[in-house]
Structure 1
Amino acid sequence: MLTELLQGTDAGGFLIIQDSASYSGRHLLKSFINAALHREEAVHVLGFEVSEEELKDGLIGASIHRLHFHNAYTDPLGWTHNPAFTVHQFCSEGVTQLVKQTSQSKPATLVIDSLSWILRHVGPPAVCKTLQQLRKGGAVRAIIGLLHADMHQRGTVGSVCHMATSVITVAPGMKGDEALAKITKRSKSGKVMQDEEIFSFKEDFTVVVQNRPSQLGLKQTETEERETDPTANLTFNLRLSDTEREAKEKLALPFVFSKEKKTALLHSGRGSGRILYEPDANDDYDQEDPDDDLDV
C-alpha cells in the first residue's frame, strides 16, 4: 500500500505522515516529494522546520526546478519587515495566491513541513478549515503534511487525521536501516483499509518495501489454528461416524409432521370423534338470559 500511495494516483487526497521523537518522518516526506517530481508535477513546500538547502539535500535531478520552496523557516512569525511566508498567511486565500504565482499547466502538490508548527500557533479548527478549503478549491492536486503526534493532545491529532484520506504512522524497525509504516487509507466510498509494512530508503530516497508483518502474522496464526485441535484430548466424542450421521438424518422428529399426517389432521373423515353436550336437569339455563346465573 505504501508503494501505491507513492504513485500518487488519488487526486484531491490529503496524506499525513505521522511521526514521533523516536523516528522522524522527514525522509519519507522527501520520498513523496521526489516521487511527485518524477511524475513531472510542480511541488510547493511550506517550509517551517528546515531550510531550503536541508530540504533539497539528496533531491538531485533535472526535475528539481519544479520544486518551489516558500521560506517560512527564517521568519515564521513575521518579526522582520519583509518575511517570505509566515504562519499567519496559512489560509486558503494566502496559500492559493502563493501557488498561482508560478505558471502551472495543472494543479500542484502542496507539501506542509510541518503541520505541527502551524498547530502550535493557529487553532485546530482554523487549520482544519483551511485544509478543507484547499482540498476543494482546485489550486492544489494533493496535500502532504508532516505531523509530530507527540507534540499535541490526542484530540488535536485525531481531528486533523480524521480529515486525511491516508495516514502513515512511522516507527523504528527491528534493524537500524528499517522502519515500520502503519497505513490507514480511506476510499471515496468510505471503505477503510489498514496495512503494516517494513521499508527502507535508497540514497535517492526511493522507498523499498521489505515485507508485510501483518500478513506474515496472519499466516502464522492460521497455521497455529490448523495445527491445534481443541477436541483432541476430550473424554467424550463430539464427532459422528458415517453410520451415525446416516441414522440421524433418517430419524423422524416428533414435532415434524409428514404429508400423510397433515392430510389426516386437516381433512376429518367419517367416524371422526365429536363432543356432544346434553344439559343436565340441575343446569339452570335460561334461553332468554344466558347470564342469569351470574351474580352481577
Structure 2
Amino acid sequence: MLGDLVKGREKSVLILIEDSVEEPGRGLVSCFLLSLCQRMDEIHVVTFDPKSQSMLKVVPAEAQAKIIHHNCQNDFLKWKQSAGLGLDSDLPKEIAAKGNPNKDRKIAMVIDSLSSLLLFRPVPYTCQTLHKLSDSNVMGASVEQIVVLVHHDLHDAGSLALIEHTASTVIRTSPTQSGGHEFCCNILHKKISGKITRINEHFNISDQLEIENLTELKAVIDTTPQQPTVQVDPAANLTFNLSLTDQEKRARSQVKLPYTYDQDRIDATLNKSVVEGKIFYQPDEADDFDEEDPDDDLDV
C-alpha cells in the first residue's frame, strides 16, 4: 500500500503523515517529494520548520524548475514585519498567485509541517485551509496531491481527529517490530469507492530515497492450545435440593393449573345452559337516600 501511494498508483488527494520525535517522518515526506517531481508539472513546498530546508536539497537539478518554495519559517508570527508568508497570510491565495497561470498543469503541494499552523490557529481554520488547497477552482489548476506532515505528539487527540477526517490517507509512523526494517507505519486509506483500508507495514528507505523491503505486518495469532474450561454447577454446594427426580417430574406434569383448560372444563363451559340474569342491589349504611321530593316546595 505505501509503495503504491508514493508512486501515485493508488490515488489519494490529501495524505497526512503523522510522526513523532521517536519516529520521525521527514524521510518519508522526501520520498513523496521525489516521486511528485517525476509525475507533476509544479510542486509547491511550504516550509514552517527550519529543518524542512534539508528536504529541498534532495531534489535533483533537473527538477528544481518545478519547485516553488513558500518560506513561512523566517517570520511566521510577523514580529519582524517582513513581507514573507506568516500567520495571517491567506495560504491558498498566496500559493495560487505564485503559480503558473496555465490551468492545464498538474500541481502538488508538500507542507512541512502543519503543526505550526495548528499551534497558533484554530483547528477548523486549518481544516478549511486544507480544503481550499485541494480545491482546483481556488488554486486555478488541477490539484493532484497534497502531502502534509504533522507531529502528532504536539497535539491532542481531538485536534488530530478533525485533521484526519479531512485527509484521504493517514500514515502514522510507529516503532518497528522487525529487526530487518528501520521504519514501521500504520496506514488508514479511504478509497474513491468508499472502501476503507487499514494496514501496518514495515519498510526501509534507500539512499536514493526510495521505499524498499516493504513488508506487511500481519496480526500475530495465538496458537497456544486452550485449556478446556470446567463447567461449575451453581447448585452443587447448596443446603437444599433444586433438582427433581423422575417421579417428581411426572407428578408435576399431572397437576392441573387453574388458568389452563383441559377437556372436562371445555365441555362444561360449552354445555352450560344460559339463564336470565338479574341484578340485586343492597345499599350500604353510608348511602344517603332522601325519599322526599326535592322539588315539593316549588310551585310548578
Task: Give TM-score scaled by structure 1 length.
Answer: 0.70
Contact residue 71 and residue 85 of structure 2 kept, 8 A: yes
Q: How far does residue 94 in structure 1 lie from its aligned partner after superposition?
A: 3.2
> How far, CA to CA, are the matches of 1:151 and 1:191 in structure 2?
30
Q: How far does residue 8 in structure 1 lie from its aligned partner after superposition?
A: 2.1
- Higher mean C-alpha deviation, range 107-116 or range 37-46: 37-46
Alignment of 1:83-162 (within 5 A): 83-98=83-98, 100-101=99-100, 103=102, 105-138=104-137, 139=139, 140-162=143-165
From the superposition, tell whether residues 25 and 90 of structure 1 become closer, same or farther in structure 2 (CA, over 3 Å).
Answer: farther
Task: Give TM-score scaled by structure 2 length.
Answer: 0.69
The aligned length equals: 240
> How far, CA to CA, are the matches of 2:125 and 2:277 in structure 1?
85
- 2:191 matches 1:192: no
What letter corresponds to residue 60 of structure 1 in structure 2? P
Alignment of 1:1-296 (within 5 A): 1-9=1-9, 13-50=13-50, 53-98=53-98, 100-101=99-100, 103=102, 105-138=104-137, 139=139, 140-174=143-177, 175=179, 178-214=182-218, 217=220, 220-221=221-222, 224=223, 228=225, 285=273, 290=274, 292-293=276-277
From the superposition, tell whether residues 155 and 106 of structure 1 become closer, same or farther in structure 2 (CA, over 3 Å).
Answer: same
More helix by share: 1
What letter corresponds to residue 149 of structure 2 in structure 1? L
> How far, CA to CA, are the matches of 1:176 and 1:230 in structure 2?
35
Task: Return the index of the structure with the highest Cα Rg.
Answer: 2
Contact residue 5 and residue 11 of structure 2 kept, 8 A: no
Give per-residue Cα distances to partners, 1:12-66, cap 9 Å, x unaligned: 6111000111111111001000111122442101111036752223333522321
From the superposition, tell whether residues 291 and 60 of structure 1 become closer, same or farther in structure 2 (CA, over 3 Å).
Answer: farther
Contact residue 15 and residue 167 of structure 1 kept, 8 A: yes
From the superposition, tell whether residues 90 and 295 of structure 1 become closer, same or farther in structure 2 (CA, over 3 Å).
Answer: same
> How far, CA to CA, are the matches of 1:210 and 1:10 in structure 2?
16
> How far, CA to CA, are the matches of 2:76 and 2:197 in structure 1?
37
* Uncovered stretches (5+) of structure 2, i.e. residues with no partner: 231-265, 281-300
Q: How far does residue 176 in structure 1 lie from its aligned partner after superposition?
A: 8.8
> How far, CA to CA, are the matches of 1:295 and 1:39 in structure 2?
101
CA-based RMSD: 3.2
From the superposition, tell whether residues 20 and 276 of structure 1 become closer, same or farther in structure 2 (CA, over 3 Å).
Answer: closer
What letter corresponds to residue 183 of structure 1 in structure 2? I
Percent identical across equivalent pairs?
A: 22
From the superposition, tell whether residues 122 and 53 of structure 1 become closer, same or farther in structure 2 (CA, over 3 Å).
Answer: closer
> How far, CA to CA, are the matches of 1:81 and 1:36 in structure 2?
33
From the superposition, tell whether residues 91 and 40 of structure 1 become closer, same or farther in structure 2 (CA, over 3 Å).
Answer: closer
> How far, CA to CA, are the matches of 1:33 and 1:102 in structure 2?
22
From the superposition, tell whether residues 18 and 51 of structure 1 become closer, same or farther in structure 2 (CA, over 3 Å).
Answer: closer
* Uncovered stretches (5+) of structure 1, i.e. residues with no partner: 235-274
Contact residue 40 and residue 106 of structure 2 kept, 8 A: no
